[in-house]
Structure 1
Amino acid sequence: MTTHNAEPGSVGPADEVGVRYDLDGPVATVTLCRPEVLNAQTPAMWAELSNISRKLPGDVRVVIVRGEGRAFSAGLDLSAARGGGDSSLATLAQLSPSECADRIAGFQSAFTWLRNPSIVTIAAVNGHAIGAGFQLALNCDMRILADDAKFSMAEVTLGLVPDLGGTKRLTELVGPSRALEICLTGRRIPADEADRIGLATAVVPAGELSGAVADLAAAVVSADAGATAEIKALLAGAPLRSYAEQDRAEREAQTRRLSELLGAGE
């Protein structure tokens, strides 16, 4: 396994920035590594997450996202948000609407690459996943939860809205009514409820989380890479298609697979 630090031009070594990624063949693991503050997130961490998306080798099939220590992520680091830096809330409020939106688009890119159709992404969630932490997990294709995990969309407690790519996936998973309740109350959602309402792919005892995620990653890697990409695209697009459109998408995907698998030998 190879551990990688931040690239030149980023804020500093990975452990200083608060994000680390490790490569083990076709599996990459991205770790939030600020356990002393429950992996609270900063703009520097988001910059490094975006960097990782650009430097992943092309043969990576699976990306695992996890948090070091007792929690996946306690959300936005409020000391950074309320400070005087370029990305503080006060600074963002002083920008023009278009400049503010552009800055937020940059933050979103740290999360939305996890939806890339060429990779399968798995969030390994233990402890709290609050706000930005919840949205980081939502941007992953699958979420394996330890039985001590708790989700919360807490932006409303700051008078803010979720803006890191999580609202569409949340609505798709639990429906608009329940998504609204989750976002408006900011309440804690325990692992058993997350499992019941569709937020969790699976819930396992805390001591078995790493093993369960490793087993799932191995199963994904063992599947045909071309079929995996086609299946992910089929399912991702399904909510936007009619039955007839989805049937057509299936036919077209299968035609591509047959051509790739058998056409070269004809």
Structure 2
Amino acid sequence: MTTPATDTDPQQWEQAGVRLELDGELATVTLCQPKRRNAQSPAMWRALAGVGRSLPGTVRVVLLRAEGVSFSAGLDRAMFTPEGIPGEHTFLELAAAKDEDLDAAIAEYQEAFTWWRRSDVISIAAVQGHAVGAGFQLALGCDLRVVAEDVQFAMKETALGLVPDLAGTKPLTELVGYARALEICATGRWVGAEEAVATGLANLAVPAEELDGAARDLAGALLASPRSAVIETKALLRGAAGRSYDEQRAAERGAQARRLRDLAGIGD
């Protein structure tokens, strides 16, 4: 089983439904196939992974948004047909592959969903309308989520006989807890804006017409703080769940020592 080449050309990204815009320390990634409700395909995933690899080191905040009425309606339905998408592996081909090839194919798909939480950037998803399956997991890949009041999240994989495999299960469980995450995934039910904010799935809900402005305001607030302090704080918070109380206190001391010495101009 061979894997299609990874897209590295921004024009190819846009053909696959992804557009990157750079404005100093802010990068905006837009899903730009509104007529198809930003349905996702392996080509889109390669484009998203390519965007992550290409970001300049000066970028501090990444804003993920989507054109049209829906953030993303999930997987392109052609992926569920025997014919699949031209030039891509069908589900039948994936199922028949050797274990290592199947694992490698899914790992390649996951790359589009994993780089958003890397240590040197903070990512914000601005989500409107439907965010289903892969769309839900893409929003979960970001550090923060601002949603429109019409948002509808759903994890439909289990209802299709599959599991969520695009790196969404860990952040979902971290945000809403095991019991609610299990119920959301196993039932495939819809989660609206009010519940999303109440459970910590979303940071803020606003009217749809205010979504872009609210997300950009949040990006501006994040950019107002010194980069090194934001990176150290993110690392502290991301690692907190895996540390004991005393280990976390020690991590705080180490991070603060680095910050004090940096501010004082004292090297290691």
Structure 2-normalised TM-score?
A: 0.93
1:190 equivalent in structure 2: 192
2:212 equivalent in structure 1: 210
Asked if the contact 2:71/2:129 (under 8 Å) is kept, the reply is yes
SS of residue in 2 equivalent to 1:264? coil
Percent of matched pairs sharing the same residue: 54
SS of residue in 1 equivalent to 2:197? helix
2:47 equivalent in structure 1: 48
1:220 equivalent in structure 2: 222
**Counterparts of 1:148 and 1:199, CA distance in 2:** 15
Q: 1:43 to 1:81 in 2, by over 3 A?
A: farther
**1:17 counterpart letter in structure 2:** A
1:71-220 matches, within 5 Å, as 71-82=70-81, 83-84=83-84, 85-220=87-222
After superposing the two structures, state which structure 1 stretch, 254-263 or 103-112, moved more.
Answer: 254-263
After superposing the two structures, state which structure 1 stretch, 187-196 or 86-95, moved more.
Answer: 86-95
Find the partner of 1:229 among 225, 228, 231.
Answer: 231
Shift >4 Å, 4+ stretches: none
After superposing the two structures, state which structure 1 stretch, 85-94 or 48-57, moved more.
Answer: 85-94
Stretches of structure 2 that go unaligned for 5 or more consecutive residues are 1-6
For 1:178-212, what per-residue CA distance to the aligned partner results, in whole angstroms no more than 9, with x for missing partners?
10000100111111111111101111111111111
Q: CA RMSD in A?
A: 1.6
**1:30 counterpart letter in structure 2:** V
Asked if the contact 1:81/1:87 (under 8 Å) is kept, the reply is no
For 1:219-262, what per-residue CA distance to the aligned partner results, in whole angstroms no more than 9, with x for missing partners?
11111100000111111111111101110110011011111111
2:36 equivalent in structure 1: 37
What is the CA-CA distance between 1:89 and the residue it aligns to? 1.2
- Does 2:19 align with 1:20? yes
1:61 equivalent in structure 2: 60
Structure 1-normalised TM-score?
A: 0.94
**2:16 counterpart letter in structure 1:** V
**Counterparts of 1:143 and 1:89, CA distance in 2:** 31
What is the CA-CA distance between 1:81 and the residue it aligns to? 4.1
**Counterparts of 1:112 and 1:178, CA distance in 2:** 23
**Counterparts of 2:88 and 2:144, CA distance in 1:** 33
Asked if the contact 2:12/2:47 (under 8 Å) is kept, the reply is no
**Counterparts of 1:136 and 1:182, CA distance in 2:** 16
What is the CA-CA distance between 1:136 and the residue it aligns to? 0.5
Asked if the contact 2:28/2:62 (under 8 Å) is kept, the reply is yes
**Counterparts of 2:136 and 2:19, CA distance in 1:** 19
1:3 equivalent in structure 2: none
- Does 2:8 align with 1:7? yes
For 1:48-107, what per-residue CA distance to the aligned partner results, in whole angstroms no more than 9, with x for missing partners?
111101111100000011111001100111213433443321111011112101110000
Asked if the contact 2:126/2:212 (under 8 Å) is kept, the reply is yes
**Counterparts of 2:20 and 2:101, CA distance in 1:** 31
**Counterparts of 1:14 and 1:147, CA distance in 2:** 29
**Counterparts of 1:222 and 1:261, CA distance in 2:** 17
